[in-house]
Chain A
Amino acid sequence: MKEYNKLIFEISKEGRQGYKLPPCDVESTDIRDMIPEHLLSKKDIDLPQVSEVDVIRHFTQLSNKNYGVDTGFYPLGSCTMKYNPKINEDIASIPSFTGIHPYQNEKTVQGSLQLMYELSEKLSEICGMDEVSLQPAAGAHGELVGLMIIKAFHENAGDFKRNKIIVPDSAHGTNPASANVAGFEIVEIKSNEKGGVDLDSLKSFLNDEIAGLMLTNPNTLGLFDENIKEISRLVHEAGGLVYYDGANLNAIMGKARPGDMGFDVVHMNLHKTFSTPHGGGGPGSGPVGVKKELMQYLPVPIVEKKEGNFTLNYDKPLSIGKIKSFYGNFGVLVRAYTYILSMGAEGLKKASEMAVLNANYMKSKLKDYYYLPIDKVCKHEFVLGGLEQGLSEITTLDIAKRLLDYGYHPPTIYFPLIVHNAIMIEPTETESLETMDAFIEAMISIAKEAKENPELLKNAPYNTLVRRLDEVRAARYPVLKYTKTN
């Protein structure tokens, strides 16, 4: 097949048209009689002129340049790239869900409100929290909401001194960034050798200026922090709250709950644990759950059930307010709800068990070929530290790029920051033994190639549509849109 390399603007042709509208059937008025000339644009918009056939071929060609979970294995650590069930898509595209305006009378949207109410309840149970808001649009947005709630809690208690949030150096980059947007200062603590919280270090930071601690458990090394209860006890004792980054919830469904570990606020990523597709970078959804004493701070509106009817309650005087238009990414919520219905309590637990089994299996197979900083039972993911020491001329990036030649999406690389040359692998529960074995084999042959023919790796990939890109040029001389050249 011939390679396609056109931009839509390059196939545009004067006079071509990809749409058809019915003719305007009302008596028309001259535009200048409706709008004074000085409010009208003087220049013509310059959108492409293409036929419907052009559009469909163009975007089909572009889709062929992409790699999704449906294309193949996607062991991207921390991103939980599990299979996205197709029935989720079908349910989410039912016109009685999609054709609803957010400002419709509540009595015409009872089904949608009930779905949201039930989803909140299910998520509360899964996380062990008392109430969940579905409003946040993504994980980072959920973090922001959770931190705003923590701030509102302290301020409502008359405590304005608590303006610092403790974030471990192993945390996702969004954690400190979200804390900053919520108006906090960030205190970074070093992790212990297991990627967990160092208790002595934590103690030394705790004082009456600390609003809370943000934590991922299992942590970003994929390890469960066995001190979790002690950690939350210490933070609580010092007057702070504990925040759970739910990026890694896929390891513990039905096995342990953040609420039972002492967490006060959690966010979940429906686009990770609850199988909604990532869409090439979004839309996601990041519901936030809280314990009883924080419920009054959740964003408005909250879906409530009153005398058998579902209603949106805006009357929450202590709420942090609105953090997004309307009620959340409803279409994403429908998919997550459908997934939970399909899996049920038993299926979610099984999913976590298989996610953990798959990760431990891959770890056991790869540790003889790659450096494994901590060799103990992991949860849903594990982190390698590049090839064995002594082969340092081959970087983690080289390994990732070579994996592209083998037909795989590489794992997450150079994260967490606390592991040098990190390769973070998360197979998820949906992958088969055969799929994992084939990937393991590819990783082993790359390790061999690194010894025998390092140049091969340094210039990889070879089989992709484009090869390594000049990213420095992209940033130094930004070309961020197409400009016509005549």
Chain B
Amino acid sequence: MFPYISNTLQDEKAMLKSIGASSIQELFSDIPEDVKFKRELNINSPMSELEVQRHVKALWSKNKSTEDLVCFLGAGVYDHYIPSIIKHIISRSEFYTAYTPYQPEISQGTLQAIFEYQTLICDLTGLDVANASMYDGATACAEAAIMAVESTKRKTIIVSKSVHPEIRKVLYTYTRFKDIELIELDTKDGVTDTIKLKQLVDSKTAGVIVQNPNFFGIIENMTEVEKITHDNKALLIMSVDPISLAILKTPGEIGADIAVGEGQALGNQMNFGGPYLGFMTTTTKLMRKMPGRIVGQTVDVDGKRAFVLTLQAREQHIRREKATSNICSNQALNALIAAIYLTTMGKQGLKEVAYQSMQKAHYAFNEIIKLEKYKPVFNKPFFKEFVIQGHESASVINEKLLECNILGGYDIEKNYPDHKNALLLCVTEKRTKSEINGLITAMEGIK
């Protein structure tokens, strides 16, 4: 017996009789003989819950998680505090077992939550309209690049090398297949080189992509980038850390046309890389070029306020190959998490998370530099991450930190070979002074 299958043997017989079939096999008689699968699948035998739990325990007990390790690893995925309330709300199966809200009369919960999410993301980024979320920060950025190409009718995208390497790789894949030219723009002293940008931007440039804070944790000065981009009638695309927007200049204030970002930090578990959500916002002018689902407010026949999926003329189920994107789903449950997070933390909480992360990162940075064994790699203002250079390679340092149950930083040299022995460390509000001091002590002990 299988607990997820309700039919009894008697039910089966009654149903076959009603259909007029003699056996279950008869219902598969339309599959030609030479296509029929005639052996049993070579996978496991069925298991009870107790057996599943035992089996899976053998796997997870081989892992070391943030339960066992103190995390100073960031690079796009962050160990921020997650309020308890989140797991309780998203465990409500009215939310998680629902489909896409195509029937608005019985989906107002999901629809209103997305509407609130859109409002919160607009407020954070300072832009006019947000979609209901995309797969992750990297694919949202790739979709923004395609959106820039479609709206400007130009064919080149310029991306700064201070954008996350993972995002640039995804961008490369998406643009290559669309025959969009992708140009990587050099950095100087850890930030986007605006002199080179000026040389590169021309009438073929559809969009310029800059990340802020950038991959090295540095806060980019966007003034010059914005001017150069818009003087050439290209679109400015910013990839941003949502937590930083509580204090840093927003894409709206900077004058960006599209803002995207990885939303994991907004209450989502790190989960070995997913599921997360990518957020995307843009101006009212570009609204109808934006890919992805969008929820709008309207009224029902009785004049009551209600929410519904809207501007669907952009989407694949209506436009098929002429759609703005092939995306069909959104990361609704992760967007719900982000909405609960932003609501729970609220105006003060988000600022405090940003402020404490920044304070603690600067404390850690100063203490590490005081050891005189590590040098700062860049001399630029940073948010919650910074790059240092030691006498050993980052992987050696990380190995030694791991022996002290510390999850070290990201090995910058892997993607930027010029930066020998460079390590990107991250400190969030979750780290205590004593944990940071533990890191300092461990780093002091390394040659």
B41 touches A39 (CB 8 A): no
Specify which of A21, A56, A110, A128 lies most central, judged by the most chain B CB atoms within 10 Å of its CB: A21
- Within the assembled complex, what's the spacing in Å between the Cα atoms of A94 and B349? 27
Known contacts: A174-B326, A345-B43. The answer to whether A430 contacts B123 by CB under 8 A is no
Query: Do the beta carbons of B336 and A280 come within 8 Å of each other?
Result: yes
A1 interfacial contact with B, CB 8 Å: no
Within the complex, the shortest CB–CB distance from B148 to chain A, in Å, comes to 15
Partner of B60, one of A96, A144, A345: A96
Collect the chain A residues with CB atoms within 8 Å of residue B94's CB.
Answer: 63-64, 66-68, 70-71
B111 CB to nearest chain A CB (Å): 8
Hey, which chain A residues are within 8 Å of B298, CB to CB? 469-471, 473-474, 479
- Interface residue ranges of B114-158 to A (CB < 8 Å): 115-116, 118-120, 122-124, 126, 129-130, 132-133, 135-139, 146
With A111-B63, A281-B332, A343-B46 as known contacts, state yes or no: A468 contacts B301, CB within 8 Å: yes
B195 part of interface (Cβ distance < 8 Å): no
Q: How many Å from the CB of A38 to the closest CB on chain B?
A: 8
- B296 & A474 in contact (Cβ 8 Å cutoff): yes
Let me know if A466 and B326 touch, CB within 8 A.
Answer: no
Chain A residues in 8 Å Cβ range of B265: none
A229-B381 in contact given A52-B344, A281-B100 (Cβ < 8 Å): no
Identify which of A4-12, A201-209, A287-295, A444-452 touches chain B. A4-12
Residues A58-101 near B (CB distance < 8 A): 58-60, 62-71, 74, 76, 79, 81-85, 87, 89, 91, 93-101
Q: A330 vs B61: C-alpha distance in the bound complex, in angstroms?
A: 17
Cα distance, A93 to B135, chains bound together (Å): 20
Among the 9-residue stretches A22-30, A237-245, A386-394, the one with 4 or more Cβ atoms under 8 Å from chain B is A22-30
Interface string of B77-109 (1 = CB under 8 A from A): 101010101011101111111111101111111
Query: Which residues of the other chain, B, contact A130 by a CB distance below 8 angstroms?
Result: none
User: Taking chain A's interface residues, is the majority helix, strand, or loop, or is none over half, making it mixed?
Assistant: loop
| B41–chain A nearest beta-carbon distance, Å | 4
Distance in angstroms from A245 CB to nearest chain B CB is: 12
CA distance A471 to B103 in the complex (A): 12
Q: Which residue of B lies closest to A322 (CB)?
A: B169
A254 pairs with B83, CB closer than 8 A:
no
Least distance between B326 CB and chain A CB atoms (Å) = 4
A315 in the interface (beta carbon within 8 A)? no
- Specify the chain A residue showing the minimal Cβ separation from B110: A280
| A319-355 at interface with B (beta carbon < 8 Å) | 320-332, 338, 340-351, 353-354
Contact B274 A100 (CB under 8 A): no
Does B249 contact A26, Cβ atoms closer than 8 Å?
no
The one of B92, B107, B146, B316 that contacts A177, using a Cβ cutoff of 8 Å: B316
Picked from B59, B269, B346, the residue with its CB within 8 Å of the CB of A111 is B59
Query: From residue A446, how far is it (CB to closest CB) to chain B in Å?
Result: 16
Evaluate contact between A47 and B350: CB separation under 8 angstroms. yes
Q: Which residues of B contact A284 (CB under 8 A)?
A: 329
User: Least Cβ distance of B150 to chain A in Å?
Assistant: 11
Q: Are A148 and B177 within 8 A (Cβ)?
A: yes
A377 touches B6 (CB 8 A): no
Give the B interface residue count (CB, 8 A). Answer: 205
Given contacts A17-B346, A481-B115, contact A151 B177 (CB under 8 A): yes
CA distance A326 to B276 in the complex (A): 11
Q: Please, which residues of chain B bring their CB within 8 A of the CB of A83?
A: 4
B22 at the interface (CB under 8 A from A): no
Q: B360, A24: Cβ atoms under 8 Å?
A: yes
With A139-B328, A357-B27 in contact, do A39 and B16 touch (Cβ < 8 Å)?
Answer: no
For window 23-71 of B, CB contacts with A under 8 Å fall at 24, 26-32, 34-37, 40-49, 51-53, 55-56, 58-67, 69, 71
Bound CA span A39–B139, Å:
27
A432 to B7, CA, bound (A): 6
Query: Which among B198-206, B226-234, B351-359 touches the partner chain?
Result: B351-359
Known: A40-B249, A254-B41, A278-B98. A21 touches B297 (CB 8 A): no
Asked if A254 contacts B37 (CB within 8 A), the reply is yes
Name the distance in Å between B402's Cβ and chain A's nearest Cβ.
6
Which residues of A sit under 8 angstroms from B76, Cβ to Cβ? 325
A183 CB within 8 Å of chain B: yes
> Does A364 belong to the interface (CB within 8 Å)?
yes
Chain A residues within 8 Å of B122, by CB: 481
Cβ of A143 within 8 Å of any chain B Cβ, yes or no, is yes
Number of A residues near B (Cβ < 8 Å) is 197
What is the bound-complex CA distance between A480 and B429, given in angstroms?
33
Q: A183-B179, A261-B35 are in contact. Are A173 and B359 (CB under 8 A)?
A: no
B249 CB to closest chain A CB, in angstroms?
A: 5
Q: Which of B219, B247, B326: most chain A Cβ within 10 A?
A: B326
Instruction: Say yes or no: A45 contacts B350, CB within 8 Å.
Output: yes
Residues of A within 8 A of B99 (CB): 74, 76, 79, 81, 278, 280-281, 409
- Give Cα A41–Cα B98 distance, bound, in whole angstroms: 38
A186 to B67, CA, bound (A): 50
Q: Which residues of A contact B245 (CB under 8 A)?
A: 41, 45
Q: Is the CB of A46 within 8 A of B347?
A: yes
Interchain CA distance A253-B43 in the complex, whole Å: 12
Closest chain A CB from B314 CB (angstroms)? 10
Contacts of A89 in B (CB 8 A): 91, 96
The 8 Å CB contact of B297, one of A41, A93, A474, is: A474
Bitwise interface map of B from 310 to 331 toward A, beta carbon under 8 Å scored 1, else 0:
1111011111111101111111
A114 and B352 CA atoms in complex are apart in Å by: 39
Given A60-B92, A62-B112, A466-B300: A430 and B333 interface contact (C-beta under 8 Å): no
Cβ-based interface call for B248 (8 A): yes
Q: Is the CB of B300 within 8 A of A26?
A: no
Q: Which residue of A lies closest to B295 (CB)?
A: A480
CA distance A48 to B116 in the complex (A): 10
**Contact (Cβ within 8 A) A101 B249:** no
Jot down 29 A-B pairs with beta carbons below 8 A, ordered by A: A24-B359, A26-B363, A28-B359, A40-B247, A50-B343, A55-B340, A62-B109, A71-B93, A83-B4, A103-B75, A111-B61, A126-B43, A260-B35, A280-B109, A281-B329, A281-B331, A320-B173, A323-B170, A325-B137, A325-B276, A330-B275, A343-B2, A349-B40, A360-B21, A377-B21, A429-B7, A466-B300, A466-B304, A480-B118
Closest 3 CB pairs of A and B: A326-B273, A279-B333, A68-B97
Given A125-B42, A173-B317, A279-B332, list of 6 further CB < 8 A pairs?
Answer: A7-B112, A55-B340, A63-B95, A139-B328, A223-B30, A433-B15
